[in-house]
């Protein structure tokens, strides 16, 4: 029974990674590709790791899996954000059907900091 449940986790995780690969090929620009692949691949790898932990059922492996998933959830979105920000500053164009550019005319091109009045909460 453990093998079946673990296999289901592995297949579902592989499906998410496959969807990330399809998104990488099919989506129109860098920003949407990065968003889709970061989310889908992080979720896919996390599910595969859960299946691996479930298969082995060892406390040492499970604790490592939890640490790896935590590390992925912490680093993947930050890395994607930094790459997208660098691409935006470098002038990588948005998709031609993108109708809302939230950063347009809000960044100082020399310092790369937000310019103008910020929203205060």
Please report whether residue 13 resides in a domain.
yes
Whether residue 71 has pLDDT greater than 60: yes
Q: With H, G, I as helix, E, B as strand and everything else as coil, classify residue 108.
A: coil
Residue 11: pLDDT band (50, 70, 90) is very high
Is residue 44 within 8 Å of 20, Cβ to Cβ?
yes
Is residue 37 within 8 Å of 24, Cβ to Cβ?
yes
Split into its structural domains, the chain has a count of 1
Please report whether residue 24 resides in a domain.
yes
pLDDT in tens, 85-121: 888 877 777 777 777 776 677 777 777 676 755 555 4
Q: Which domain holds residue 21?
A: 2-90
Please report whether residue 107 resides in a domain.
no
Please report whether residue 99 resides in a domain.
no
Please report whether residue 77 resides in a domain.
yes
DSSP one-letter code for 101 = -
Dist CA 98 CA 47 (whole Å): 32
Please report whether residue 109 resides in a domain.
no
Residue 4 C-beta-side C-alpha neighbours within 13 Å: 1
Please report whether residue 115 resides in a domain.
no
């Amino acid at each position: 029974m453990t093998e079946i449940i673990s296999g289901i986790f592995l297949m579902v995780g592989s499906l998410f990674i496959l969807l990330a690969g399809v998104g990488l090929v099919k989506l129109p620009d860098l920003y949407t590709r990065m968003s889709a692949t970061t989310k889908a691949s992080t979720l896919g790898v996390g599910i595969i790791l859960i299946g691996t932990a479930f298969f082995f059922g060892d406390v040492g492996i499970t604790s490592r899996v939890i640490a790896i998933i935590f590390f992925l959830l912490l680093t993947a979105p930050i890395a994607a954000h930094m790459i997208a920000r660098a691409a935006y500053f470098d002038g990588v164009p948005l998709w031609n059907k993108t109708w809302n550019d939230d950063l347009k005319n809000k960044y100082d091109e020399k310092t790369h900091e937000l310019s103008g009045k910020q929203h205060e909460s």
